[in-house]
């Protein structure tokens, strides 16, 4: 008997029972409208728009593409966007503190994000909770490595992350309910249900809800999270589809760390804190809200031409009362050098509008794909701060607890800290020329304009660029039906927020990116492989300089030097899919090196080598049981700073390490499934961040989750 696999996008839950093979999917019931079928593998047959907008499959896209499918998210119990990035090929995540994360690919920070292919803006490092947002409302996550300026508005050499929403794409009613419990008293309940509300099935709805609360391996920390999502699909006519929806995520962390752990004692020696050590106070909190209102209209003029128009309103907000501890710790009495209580209330609202037309044009006896479109967005960022009424010293950090730092009180009169407006407009077009059955050529470009004005904590910004042209060229050639070589080129042009030591904004990143590779498919496309070579050269790469206190006071800011002639080059290998029935695998290895114009190593704070493996297996004759596991390897990474006591150079370094994960799932029936996941199974002690503001942060110890899912 073939067992149906439960589908779910957020830890240990499953959405629907789906056919277990592509052949079954092809014969699925006719009333499943555009239903995305989980076929038990980690590959995706669907076309994606993340890189070119032409609606190409992964193998047709002339760049490195990784898809974290619903099946993969279910198997690994991935809950947040940060979890997904940690396990995607060729990308890394660095924890800044309990809320913020920074993502990197090929050594460079990822700043391009999309939802259903529409570019969106996040706050710096996800300060409003964007990077820890729950993925239960998303169908899958697409990561296109390399520059994607054609669609995302600016060329950047790292990657673009596209979050693909769940939609109301089925007529018959169904869904799931689930519950899970994990270490540190973390429990979670989830539900996903949808179906048609009219007899004809032309109006369909879907809703997702999740609630979670729990503690952490870090002292004092507790968190509550609520996720709610609703969407409706309406077949206005046979050729017109209207989609609309709203998502709301609310996080309420108590006693979150703002920053990390101090590295030095007052005599210049280094610290070695327990993994549970906190740098927070029991009165602190960091509430975040992430909301997205969207509407999309798709109309097929014929079987050759279509129009898509989108509206998105994105709101990310935070309300905080925090404590920042920094400096050295006294060997005599345990006091920490600096303590800074802080309160703010801020939000970022982005309204974006875009439209895209795509179709087929005949020429030279063949059809060729064409897409052109436009996007306009306005983002308003505002933050009000409230001064502390008292500044108690950070006493006895050696024996720090929740009462170690009394509540300082804050002014009820706020001061405007951030007031910035960012406006972007872009016009783009691309064509894929099917020159022969084997040879395809892609060409396109984008005219982009930016304008940013305002002030951020005493630093004024007023810059922009009009009609910057970002070209894109790609080519693919089928050596055989199974093996395809490709090449692509694009320009890099990315305004950046990094400041020099005079607190002036650095000039935009400027450069070029090249990639060549081989994409292959085996076993009737069930197993896919990619080998990619890349080279990026750019100017004005931000390289850490000194700490500078803003004119208006407050915390010191990291400043940067604009590096010249930075070259990053390397390769990536990825193997994904189902080599034999019952066996899923995702294996990726990436490696790069980066030097400046003088041949000096740069971007050393990013690991040069990454290996990520995860696999599951169903035993023949006992398909109810699935077991799996994986390993993530990172090579050493370091940054060079100084010892604040001796003044000598100090190297903040994380040596190479491996994290092992395990899973098992048992289908009690076709409706009920039980699952267990263990993360960091060997309980490896490692740093999830080092050197940022001369601090470090430990990664999570061994963790487990037990869950039960009932689908109907």
Above 60 in pLDDT, residue 23?
no
**Mean pLDDT along residues 35-60:** 69
Using CA atoms, how far apart are residues 71 and 37, in angstroms rounded to an integer?
A: 10
- Bridge partners (DSSP) of residue 199 are none
Number of other residues whose CB lies within 10 A of the CB of residue 287: 20
Lowest mean pLDDT among 23-32, 226-235, 579-588, 700-709: 23-32
Q: Which tens digits make up the pLDDT trace of 607-646?
A: 999 999 999 999 888 889 999 999 999 999 999 888 999 9
What proportion of the chain, given as a percentage, has pLDDT over 90? 69
| Phi/psi of residue 149, nearest 5 degrees | -65, -20
Q: Is 647 exposed, middle or buried (0-12, 13-18, 19+ CB in 10 A)?
A: exposed
Number of other residues whose CB lies within 10 A of the CB of residue 312: 20
Above 70 in pLDDT, residue 555?
no
Chain CA centroid to CA 476, Å: 28
8 A C-beta contact, residue 376 and residue 439: no
List the structure tokens of 579: 């080599």
**Mean pLDDT along residues 498-509:** 80
Q: Which of 640, 663, 568, 605 is nearest to 159 (CA)?
A: 568
**Mean pLDDT along residues 430-441:** 94
CA dihedral 540, 542, 548, 550 (to 10 degrees): 70
- Bridge partners (DSSP) of residue 557 are 548
DSSP tag of 41: S
Q: Which of 411-415, 554-558, 561-565 has the highest mean pLDDT?
A: 411-415
Using CA atoms, how far apart are residues 316 and 519, in angstroms rounded to an integer?
A: 38
Above 60 in pLDDT, residue 14?
no
**Mean pLDDT along residues 290-310:** 96
Count Cβ neighbours within 10 Å for each residue of 247-265 and write b for 16 or more, e otherwise: bbbbbbbbbbbbbbbbbbb
Above 50 in pLDDT, residue 1?
no
Using CA atoms, how far apart are residues 118 and 379, in angstroms rounded to an integer?
A: 14
Assign 166 to helix, strand or coil: coil
Above 80 in pLDDT, residue 36?
no
- Bridge partners (DSSP) of residue 421 are 380, 453
Using CA atoms, how far apart are residues 457 and 28, in angstroms rounded to an integer?
A: 57
pLDDT for 51 equals: 60
Using CA atoms, how far apart are residues 557 and 580, in angstroms rounded to an integer?
A: 53
Assign 419 to helix, strand or coil: strand
List the structure tokens of 391: 């500044």
Q: Which tens digits make up the pLDDT trace of 117-152?
A: 888 888 776 789 999 999 999 999 999 998 776 665
Above 70 in pLDDT, residue 396?
yes
pLDDT for 13 equals: 32
Helix (H) or strand (E) run with residue 71 in it: helix 70-76
Above 50 in pLDDT, residue 574?
yes
User: Cβ neighbours of residue 436 under 8 Å, at least 6 residues apart?
Assistant: none
Lowest mean pLDDT among 154-158, 169-173, 459-463, 627-631: 154-158
User: Cβ neighbours of residue 94 under 8 Å, at least 6 residues apart?
Assistant: 101, 102, 103, 104, 688, 689, 692
Stronger pLDDT, 498 or 575, i.e. the higher one: 575
Q: Which of 193-207, 325-339, 384-398 has the highest mean pLDDT?
A: 193-207
Q: Which of 191, 170, 137, 164 is nearest to 18 (CA)?
A: 170
Place of tokens 């077991």: 627
**Mean pLDDT along residues 204-209:** 98
pLDDT for 340 equals: 93
Strands 415-434 and 703-711: unpaired
Stronger pLDDT, 482 or 554, i.e. the higher one: 482
List the structure tokens of 196: 């048609």
Give the pLDDT band (50/70/90) at residue 554: low
Using CA atoms, how far apart are residues 673 and 540, in angstroms rounded to an integer?
A: 52
Average pLDDT, the chain: 88
8 A C-beta contact, residue 518 and residue 537: no
Above 60 in pLDDT, residue 9?
no
pLDDT for 21 equals: 34
pLDDT for 498 equals: 78
Using CA atoms, how far apart are residues 100 and 94, in angstroms rounded to an integer?
A: 9
Q: Which of 326, 174, 275 is nearest to 697 (CA)?
A: 275
* E strand spans, 495-580: 509-522, 527-539, 541-548, 557-563, 566-580
pTM of the predicted protein model: 0.89
- Bridge partners (DSSP) of residue 341 are 323
pLDDT for 553 equals: 66
């Amino acid at each position: 008997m073939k067992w149906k696999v439960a589908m779910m996008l957020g830890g240990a839950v499953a959405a629907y029972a789906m056919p277990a093979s592509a052949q079954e999917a092809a014969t699925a019931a006719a009333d499943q409208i555009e239903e995305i079928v989980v076929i038990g593998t980690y590959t995706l047959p669907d076309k994606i728009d993340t890189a070119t907008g032409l609606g190409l499959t992964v193998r047709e896209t002339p760049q490195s593409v990784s898809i974290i499918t619903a099946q993969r998210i279910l198997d690994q119990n991935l809950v947040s966007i940060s979890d997904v990035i940690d396990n995607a090929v060729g990308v890394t995540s660095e924890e800044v503190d309990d809320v913020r994360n920074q993502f990197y690919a090929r050594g460079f920070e990822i700043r391009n994000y999309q939802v259903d292919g529409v570019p969106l803006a996040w706050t710096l490092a996800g300060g409003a909770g964007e990077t820890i947002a729950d993925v239960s409302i998303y169908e899958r996550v697409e990561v296109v490595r390399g520059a994607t300026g054609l669609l995302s508005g600016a060329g950047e050499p790292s990657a673009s992350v596209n979050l693909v929403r769940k939609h109301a794409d089925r007529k018959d009613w169904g869904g799931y309910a689930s519950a899970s419990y994990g270490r540190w008293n973390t429990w979670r309940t989830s539900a996903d249900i949808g179906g048609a509300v009219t007899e004809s099935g032309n109006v369909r709805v879907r809703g997702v809800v999740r609630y979670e609360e729990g503690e952490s391996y870090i002292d004092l920390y507790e968190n509550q999270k609520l996720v709610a999502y609703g969407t409706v699909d309406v077949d206005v006519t046979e050729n017109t589809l209207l989609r609309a929806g709203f998502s709301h995520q609310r996080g309420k962390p108590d006693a979150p760390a703002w920053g990390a752990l101090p590295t030095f004692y007052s005599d210049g020696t280094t610290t070695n804190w327990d993994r549970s050590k906190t740098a927070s106070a029991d009165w602190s909190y960091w509430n975040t809200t992430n909301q997205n209102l969207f509407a999309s209209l798709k109309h097929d003029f014929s079987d050759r031409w279509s129009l898509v128009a989108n509206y998105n309103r994105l709101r990310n907000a935070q309300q905080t009362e925090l404590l920042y501890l920094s400096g050295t710790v006294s060997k005599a009495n345990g006091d920490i050098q600096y303590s800074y209580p802080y309160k703010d209330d801020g939000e970022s609202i982005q309204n974006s509008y875009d439209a895209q037309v795509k179709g087929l044009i005949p020429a030279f006896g063949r059809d060729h794909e064409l897409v052109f479109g436009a996007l306009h967005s306005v983002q308003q960022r505002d933050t009000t701060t409230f001064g502390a009424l008292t500044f108690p010293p950070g006493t006895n950090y050696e024996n720090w607890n929740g009462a170690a730092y009394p509540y300082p009180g804050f002014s009820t009169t706020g001061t405007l800290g951030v007031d910035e407006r960012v406006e972007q407009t872009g016009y783009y077009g691309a064509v894929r020329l099917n020159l022969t059955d084997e040879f395809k050529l892609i060409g396109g470009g984008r005219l982009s304009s930016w304008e940013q004005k305002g002030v951020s904590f005493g630093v004024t910004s007023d810059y922009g660029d009009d009609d910057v042209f970002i070209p894109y060229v790609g080519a693919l050639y089928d050596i055989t039906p199974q093996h395809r070589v490709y090449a692509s080129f694009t320009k890099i042009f990315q305004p950046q927020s990094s400041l020099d030591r005079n607190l002036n904004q650095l000039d935009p990143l400027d450069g070029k990116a090249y990639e060549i590779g081989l994409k292959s498919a085996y076993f009737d496309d069930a197993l896919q492989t990619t080998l990619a070579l890349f080279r990026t050269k750019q100017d004005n790469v931000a390289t850490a300089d000194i700490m500078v206190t803003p004119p208006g006071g407050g915390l010191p800011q990291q400043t940067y030097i604009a590096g010249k002639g930075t070259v990053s080059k390397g390769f990536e290998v990825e193997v994904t899919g189902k080599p034999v029935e019952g066996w899923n695998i995702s294996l990726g290895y990436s490696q790069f090196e980066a030097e400046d114009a003088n041949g000096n190593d740069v971007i050393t704070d990013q690991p040069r080598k990454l290996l990520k493996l995860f696999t599951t297996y169903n035993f023949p004759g006992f398909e109810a049981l699935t077991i799996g596991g994986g390993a993530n390897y990172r090579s050493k990474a370091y940054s060079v700073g100084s010892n604040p006591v001796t003044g000598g150079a100090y190297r903040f370094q994380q040596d190479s390490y491996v994290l092992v994960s395990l899973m098992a799932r048992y289908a009690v029936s076709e409706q009920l499934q039980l699952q267990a996941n263990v993360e960091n199974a060997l309980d490896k002690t490692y740093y999830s961040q080092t050197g940022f503001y001369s601090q470090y942060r430990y990664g999570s110890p061994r963790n487990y989750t037990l869950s039960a899912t009932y689908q109907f």
